[in-house]
């Protein structure tokens, strides 16, 4: 996607900005840890604390954005405008990691389908968000928090609700094959 | 793996871990033995965890667990103990079973009540029937003779429009209009009070 749309013009400058790097790193860590937690959930008797793996990076991600909000507010940049394109892009970019993850998860045991698929949604959406920020010119922390993290949360919730749809225990006839 | 003894049927004395490992490598006989021995253990485990279940329900749960073990067989890592892996699957399947059982029972109970209410005349309160009859009679008083006739022929005697038109000597559209107006009036009177 980044290749197709082309990177944002100020990417080199952004890559030197510690706040941008910190936010991207936290989002990446959230995505990866959510993917690991989702995969671990499909292995019976895997250590239970693994499912809490993304909590710390997600908290750190929200923390960096919250801190960014305060910083922006002091600089007088605090404003919010509708930016629904974020949701569209995150959903579009997230399709690929989401499909891959769901295919992998279906090889495992659906012990907690809602939580597993919810975590997969979080992983896909967080990774999509990392990609999004490489071409989408939106750095105001509040905007990122509301529109990008909001989209990630929305997609995570929707995925979680559809958990049993994506990860059912197979029925008798198919299991017998 | 150690502890494997050679007997008439060596799989009899093998540990479950060894059997599962062989099953993962495609040994059908080992898999059969594993499922056989596992089903006995699972029956006991389910009966202990859910003592309220009837034997046939326990059997259902055990079969579901075995199918799930089959589906998830690739997720067992031979380096890890086998029984905790099975127990995690069993817990999840038993919880699923109890959940669907509760839902099914609730639906069954609700529909039984409905059937009793609608089918058994004794279950309907007698006074209610009298009140219904009186209010219906009162409502009928407000209809014109033609409308009353339409209700009588089309609703009570359940004649077709054509038959009703013939017996009353009126046209089909006239019957349609009459029954429509009658039903609207009855509804407005009965629903009000």
User: A142: closest CA among A30, A62, A87, A88?
Assistant: A62
- Express each pLDDT in A33-79 by its tens digit: 999 999 999 998 888 888 899 999 999 999 998 888 888 888 776 67
Q: Smallest Cβ distance to A44: which of B64, B89, B96? A: B89
Classify residue B3 as left (phi > 0), alpha (psi -120 to 50) or beta.
left
Q: Does B89 touch chain A (CB under 8 A)?
A: yes
Pick from A19-23, B47-51, B62-66, B119-123: least confident: B119-123
Q: Does A107 touch chain B (CB under 8 A)?
A: yes
**Residue B5: pLDDT band with limits 50, 70, 90:** very low
Record the tokens describing residue B182, joined without a space: 């009658």
Whether B158 shows a pLDDT value over 80: the answer reads yes
Q: What pLDDT is recorded for position A124?
A: 93
% of chain B residues with pLDDT over 70: 84
Whether B126 shows a pLDDT value over 80: the answer reads no
Q: Is B177 helix (H, G, I), strand (E, B) or coil?
A: helix
* Matching residue, tokens 């990609």: A131
Q: What pLDDT is recorded for position B127?
A: 67
B137 vs B131: CA distance, rounded Å: 10
Q: What is the ipTM of this complex?
A: 0.72
Whether B118 shows a pLDDT value over 70: the answer reads no
pTM above 0.80, yes or no: no
- Express each pLDDT in A118-138 by its tens digit: 999 999 999 999 988 888 877
Q: Smallest Cβ distance to B85: which of A44, A170, A175? A: A44
Whether A81 shows a pLDDT value over 50: the answer reads yes
Q: Is B51 helix (H, G, I), strand (E, B) or coil?
A: coil
Q: What pLDDT is recorded for position B3?
A: 42
Query: Does an H or E element contain A85, and which?
Result: helix A85-105
User: A98: closest CA among A170, A34, A41?
Assistant: A34
Q: Does B86 touch chain A (CB under 8 A)?
A: yes
- Express each pLDDT in A56-68 by its tens digit: 999 999 999 888 8
Q: What pLDDT is recorded for position A76?
A: 74
Record the tokens describing residue A154, joined without a space: 């929305």
Q: Does B97 touch chain A (CB under 8 A)?
A: no
Q: Does A75 touch chain B (CB under 8 A)?
A: no
B51 vs B169: CA distance, rounded Å: 72
Sign of CA dihedral B14, B36, B65, B28: positive
Q: Smallest Cβ distance to B85: which of A45, A107, A170? A: A45
On whether the CB atoms of residues B154 and B179 are closer than 8 A, the answer is yes
Q: What pLDDT is recorded for position B181?
A: 92
Q: What pLDDT is recorded for position B7?
A: 47
SS3 of B138-169: the string is: HHHHCCCHHHHHHHHHHHHCCCCHHHHHHHHC
Q: What pLDDT is recorded for position A173?
A: 45
Q: Pick the residue from chain B with its C-alpha nearest to A111.
A: B92
CB spacing of A44 vs B71 below 8 angstroms: no
Q: What pLDDT is recorded for position A14?
A: 76
Whether A145 shows a pLDDT value over 90: the answer reads no
| B85 contacts in chain A (CB < 8 Å) | 44-45
Give the distance from CA A15 to its chain's centroid. Answer: 21
CB spacing of B85 vs A111 below 8 angstroms: no
Dump the DSSP string for A33-65. HHHHHHHHHTSTT--GGGGGTTHHHHHHHHHHH
User: A120: closest CA among A84, A157, A82, A87?
Assistant: A157
**Residue B42: pLDDT band with limits 50, 70, 90:** very high
Pick from A143-152, A164-173, B49-58, B155-164: least confident: A164-173
On whether the CB atoms of residues A167 and A109 are closer than 8 A, the answer is no
Q: What pLDDT is recorded for position B180?
A: 93
% of chain A residues with pLDDT over 90: 32
Q: Smallest Cβ distance to A111: which of B70, B86, B92? A: B92
- Express each pLDDT in B64-101 by its tens digit: 999 999 988 888 888 988 999 999 999 999 998 888 88
| B61 contacts in chain A (CB < 8 Å) | none
Q: Does B144 touch chain A (CB under 8 A)?
A: no
- Tally A–B CB contacts below 8 A: 44
Query: Does an H or E element contain A156, and which?
Result: helix A150-161
Question: Residue range B27-48: average pLDDT?
Answer: 92
């Amino acid at each position: 996607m980044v290749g197709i749309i082309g990177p944002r013009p100020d990417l080199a400058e952004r890559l030197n900005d510690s706040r941008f790097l910190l936010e991207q790193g936290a989002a990446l860590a959230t995505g990866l840890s959510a993917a690991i937690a989702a995969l671990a959930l499909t292995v019976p008797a895997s250590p239970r604390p693994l499912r809490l793996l993304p909590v710390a990076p997600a908290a750190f991600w929200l923390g960096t954005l919250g801190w960014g909000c305060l910083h922006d507010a002091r600089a007088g940049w605090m404003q919010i405008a509708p930016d629904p394109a974020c949701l569209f892009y995150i959903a579009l970019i997230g399709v690929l990691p989401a499909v891959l993850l769901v295919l992998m998860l279906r090889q495992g045991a659906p012990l907690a389908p809602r939580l597993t698929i919810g975590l997969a949604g979080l992983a896909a959406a967080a990774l999509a968000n990392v990609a999004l920020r490489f071409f989408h010119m939106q750095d105001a922390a509040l905007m990122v928090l509301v529109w990008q993290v909001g989209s990630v949360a929305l997609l995570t919730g929707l995925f979680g609700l559809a958990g049993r749809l994506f990860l059912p225990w197979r029925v008798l006839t198919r299991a017998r094959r | 793996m150690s502890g494997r003894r050679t007997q008439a049927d060596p799989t009899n004395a093998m540990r479950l871990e060894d059997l599962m490992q062989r099953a993962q490598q495609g040994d059908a006989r080992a898999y059969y033995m594993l499922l056989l021995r596992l089903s006995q253990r699972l029956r006991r485990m389910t009966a202990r965890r859910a003592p309220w279940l009837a034997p046939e329900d326990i059997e259902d749960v055990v079969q579901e667990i075995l199918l799930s073990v089959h589906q998830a067989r690739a997720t067992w890592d031979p380096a890890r103990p086998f029984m905790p892996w099975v127990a995690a699957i069993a817990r999840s399947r038993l919880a699923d079973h109890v959940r669907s059982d509760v839902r099914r029972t609730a639906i069954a109970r609700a529909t039984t009540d409905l059937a009793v209410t609608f089918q058994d005349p004794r279950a309907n309160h007698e006074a209610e029937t009298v009140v219904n009859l009186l209010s219906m009679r009162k409502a009928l008083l407000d209809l014109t003779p033609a409308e009353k006739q339409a209700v009588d022929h089309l609703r009570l005697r359940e004649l077709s429009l054509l038959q009703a038109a013939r017996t009353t000597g009126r046209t089909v559209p006239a019957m349609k209009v009459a029954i429509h107006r009658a039903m609207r009036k009855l509804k407005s009177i009965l629903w009000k009070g």
